Amino acid sequence: MSATRSVQQEPEIPRLIHRDADIVVLDKPSGLATLADRSGAPNLWDALPDLLGCKPYLVHRLDKGTSGVMVVALNPATQATLTRAFNARQVRKFYLARVVGLPSPPGRSLLIDLPLRPGRKSRFRVAGQRADILRLAAGWHLSQYDGSGHESRTRLRTLATTPDERTSLVLLEPISGRTHQLRVHLSWIGHPILGDMLYGQPGSPLQSASRLELHCHRLVVPRFGSFSAQLPGHWPSCS
Positions marked active-site = 63
Helix (H) / strand (E) element for 153: namely strand 153-161
Residue 73: closest CA among 12, 25, 3: 25
Residue-wise DSSP of 23-70: EEEEEEPTT-BSS--TT---BHHHHHHHHHTS--B------TT-EEEE
Phi, psi of 116 (to 5 degrees): -120, 155
Compute CA 181 distance to the chain's CA centroid, rounded to the nearest angstrom.
8
Whole-Å CA distances, 148 to 120, 142, 179: 16, 12, 16
| DSSP type of residue 193 | B
CA angle 62/66/69 to nearest 5° reads: 60
Q: Say if CB 53 and CB 47 are below 8 A apart.
A: no
